Structure 1
Amino acid sequence: MSTVSSSTLSGVEAAQAEVLSKSNLAVRELVLNRPKKYNALNLNMVRAMTPELQAWEKSDLAKIILLKSCGGKAFCAGGDVKTVVDLAEDGDPNATKFFEDEYQLDHLIATLETPFVAIMDGITMGGGVGLSVHAPFRIATENTLFSMPETAIGFLPEVGGSFFLSRLDGQLGVYLGLTGKRLEATDVFYSGVATHYVPSSRIPALEARLSELENATHDIVNQAIEEFSAELDNEPTFSLSGETRKVIDHCFKYDTVGEIVAALEKEPETEFTKETLDLLKSMSPTSLKVTLQQIRNGASLSLAQCFKMEYHLVQKFLQGHDFKEGVTATLVTRSKPNWVPNQLSDVDDSKIKQTYFDAPSPLRLEMLTSRDFKKYPHRKYMLPSEEDIKRVVTGEAADVGNYALNRRQVLDHLLRERQGKQGLKQKVSEVLDRKTVENKKDGETLKWVY
């Protein structure tokens, strides 16, 4: 492990110090090693990781790829946006180059055939989310703190946010993308951002177990991680469930930010609605409106198409006012940003579409691989989605049959299908409480409430 200050090294050497590459039997590890900067991602780090991953993908000796941090508070607290804004202000093409290379890396991780495990043990925001959220295995611990806080700095939740946020249950993704709400520990797992929840004290033993796997298929890697997953009976339930979730789905279903705010204002005032309105009113109005459109568009796009849309949008933000203002106010002057325009009502929806989405940008994004998808190919390793649960209740799932099921039968079916996955009982029970009623004819079988 290098102890030389990166400021004294060449670009390549600095990147090697900031990203460590290790071999542990059949496992190949990338270790983010910039702890004083919360492992914030920069261009050198991206350029160090991409060729390593490409080489390991071709190697018969690399059976599993593992991404983690060197320790401390953060897995990766985001991209180095201050440097990016400074480069953009100077007209330096490396401002857009950072996003180009970052998105290519994120897409490469998402489409690797080699099983890829991201250990999100600490703060995971922005660029750190891009490195992990599209991977087949995403491990949260009690130290994980997830957020996409970009609207607070006059930016947008990119790194594939338009893809993964639009595929979370109900309107959760829209809520998280607009408000930048932080999720911690088990919440990261129950939301669908993480695929597994493993206590940090078990991580070293899990890493040792992964290194010993001889035939490391995705199924076998999943089984190994499940062996170390936490028993969740005594852990907190999902904080955004129940009545809170009903409010999220009711208020964030609209296609304009104005309607979302109006819906929240009509709700009975609670701590949740007050916090949510306060968050929305503090964000860049332009960012909010672009973000909502971005997530709605992303629902029907492939992952590569989402990255290309975001690269186009990023170029618009680098030319605009709010991104620079938000980064400067948040990271430099520690003051309240002065958004332009500073009111939602002053941001014309049709102009947003015309300026940010329809008008062309000079640069196009090309991926490093032609692999692509519209649904995560390894989603069977996650908790079942609300849609998965609905299909079992309604009989649409392939192997359920044409008869109505009771609560126990729905739960047993999904436990068999997901091989007794930890956390499944808790999630399915919450969804059934919120989205089903008992059939009046027999008082036992379930009907889905639309």
Structure 2
Amino acid sequence: MHRFKALILRRSVRIPNFLPHYRNLCSQSSAVVDNDSTENQVLVEGKASSRTAILNRPSALNALNTSMGARLKKLYESWEENSDIGFVVMKGSGRAFSAGGDIATLYRLINEGKMAECKEFFGTLYSFIYLLGTYLKPHVAILNGITMGGGAGVSIPGTFRVATDKTVFATPETQIGFHPDAGASFYLSHLPGYLGEYLALTGERFNGPEMIACGLATHYSLSARLPLLEERLGTLVTDDPSVIEASLEQYGDLAYPDKRSVIHSIETVDKCFAHDTVEEIIGALENEATRSYDEWCTSTLRKLKEASPLSLKVSLRSIREGRFQTLDQCLVREYRMSLQGISKQISSDFCEGVRAQLVDKDFAPKWDPPCLEKVTKDMVDNYFSPLSELEPDLELPIKLREAFT
């Protein structure tokens, strides 16, 4: 486990059903919230030797939009250049750190044919994630509350991640016909064993202790103690990660996964999710369920059969490729995949998934293709290709900022 934490951390200098959260995000992402100024959507607190970025769309569970991504990038670049700032903190307001990307707005833009704005959304968010992953100063993300999809993307690549008793982590994109993105193919693929495949395909949630156990989080603190932790961080005048870590540990708490947690069944996860294809994974789960009558196998099978068949195959390949790629390579590939996923050239599963879960709320998506057997190799291959010969890839400053593995 310690070895894994060393892998998931940046250089030394440096989760019930989730669909109700998506439904809340859609119903609460109102014009009033979206019309707020960019400055109000990302607040800034100045401390002795640090700055805190506060994601501030609480009624939308701090869902990330293009302007928030652009403001974060601008702020972080200026803070990195400021020698008076030793480290940076990020947190969310309300009951979420961030529920991920603003799916409701993305769905609207797609239906209005505003693909350029969709591309800008993904490009802006992924560029900030790369900045965070190569940041030259220590970074502390306080993951108090819902932390999903893009919310995990703008926190996990940083130096420290503090989970709490209120943290709910998930990458539930296959349930809406998409793929775990925003760097997920990088950090999920570096989890112990085949836990990343399990989380990516099922969209299952993890709580704070489970995040600590697998290395997604570096520290754990009860939410009631966060004011003390934040006050302590605010007094620090340092850019030394070891000093920051000591303060995090000072206000940390012991965290043990519940005895029913999948963390205690990692051998079964590995046995089932190590297979090369989704069909083989499902077959292994069915055999395990028949042999052991394990409720975990039954619930896992149910989640897989509810997800988009195309998304399952695409996501499995994405995680497998991420295991051998750097962060920048994962982000460039995910950018291609995301554009393909919203283009409707291969399938309309993303819009259909959002329609079924968020818009019409009939919770009965009609996936295309409708079953795994009809998902062809060409469909999956095309998902990883540019939209056209003229479509540029995501450009990241890899010559200026070193990528990491």
TM-score using structure 1 length: 0.78
Aligned partner of 1:448 in structure 2 is: none
Q: CA deviation at 1:207?
A: 1.4
Matched, 1:250 2:280: no
Instruction: Give the AA of the match of 2:163.
Output: A
Aligned partner of 1:367 in structure 2 is: 396
Aligned partner of 2:319 in structure 1 is: 295
CA distance 1:326–1:353, shift in 2 (3 Å): closer
Matched, 1:67 2:97: no
Aligned partner of 1:346 in structure 2 is: 374
Aligned partner of 1:260 in structure 2 is: 281
CA contact (8 A) 2:210 2:263 kept: no
Matched, 1:329 2:356: yes
Matched, 1:48 2:48: no
For the aligned residue pairs, the C-alpha RMSD in angstroms reads 1.9
Q: Secondary structure at the match of 2:262?
A: coil
Q: Secondary structure at the match of 2:154?
A: helix
Distance 1:104 1:299 in 2: 20
Aligned partner of 2:100 in structure 1 is: 78
Question: Among 21, 34, 53, which residue is 1:30 paired with?
Answer: 53
CA contact (8 A) 2:165 2:222 kept: yes
Q: Secondary structure at the match of 1:138?
A: strand
CA contact (8 A) 1:186 1:238 kept: no
Q: CA deviation at 1:89?
A: 2.5
Distance 1:16 1:221 in 2: 27
Which has the higher Rg, Structure 1 or Structure 2? Answer: 1
Matched, 1:239 2:280: no
What 5-or-longer segments of structure 1 have no aligned partner?
376-450
Aligned partner of 2:219 in structure 1 is: 196
Aligned residues: 366
Distance 1:292 1:10 in 2: 34
Q: CA deviation at 1:213?
A: 2.0
Q: Secondary structure at the match of 2:392?
A: coil
Q: CA deviation at 1:328?
A: 1.2
Distance 1:238 1:27 in 2: 39
Q: Secondary structure at the match of 2:384?
A: helix
CA contact (8 A) 1:290 1:356 kept: yes
Instruction: Give the AA of the match of 2:294.
Output: T
CA contact (8 A) 2:336 2:386 kept: no
Identity %: 38
Cα deviation, 1:202-227, whole Å, max 9, x if unaligned, reads 21111122222233311111111111
Distance 1:300 1:254 in 2: 17
CA contact (8 A) 1:304 1:372 kept: no
Instruction: Give the AA of the match of 1:88.
Output: I
Cα deviation, 1:85-120, whole Å, max 9, x if unaligned, reads 221222211111100000001111111111110000
Q: Secondary structure at the match of 2:237?
A: coil
What 5-or-longer segments of structure 2 have no aligned partner?
1-28
Task: Give the alignment of 1:99-138 within 5 angstroms.
Answer: 99-138=122-161
CA distance 1:9–1:199, shift in 2 (3 Å): closer
CA contact (8 A) 1:120 1:144 kept: yes
Cα deviation, 1:353-384, whole Å, max 9, x if unaligned, reads 43212465423101245323443xxxxxxxxx
Instruction: Give the AA of the match of 1:208.
Output: E
Matched, 1:312 2:339: no
Cα deviation, 1:418-437, whole Å, max 9, x if unaligned, reads xxxxxxxxxxxxxxxxxxxx
TM-score using structure 2 length: 0.86
CA distance 1:206–1:363, shift in 2 (3 Å): same
Instruction: Give the AA of the match of 2:272.
Output: C
Distance 2:33 2:248 in 1: 38
Distance 1:57 1:358 in 2: 34
Instruction: Give the AA of the match of 2:283.
Output: A
Task: Give the alignment of 1:407-422 within 5 angstroms.
Answer: none
Distance 1:8 1:167 in 2: 40
CA contact (8 A) 1:312 1:363 kept: no
Question: Among 213, 216, 220, which residue is 2:236 paired with?
Answer: 213
- List structure 1 runs of 4+ shifted beyond 4 angstroms: 5-11, 358-361
Cα deviation, 1:280-314, whole Å, max 9, x if unaligned, reads 00000000000000110111111000000000111
Instruction: Give the AA of the match of 2:375.
Output: V
Q: CA deviation at 1:339?
A: 0.4
Matched, 1:165 2:188: yes
CA contact (8 A) 2:349 2:368 kept: yes
Aligned partner of 2:25 in structure 1 is: none
Aligned partner of 2:382 in structure 1 is: 355
CA contact (8 A) 1:150 1:157 kept: yes
Distance 1:334 1:60 in 2: 50
Distance 1:7 1:85 in 2: 15
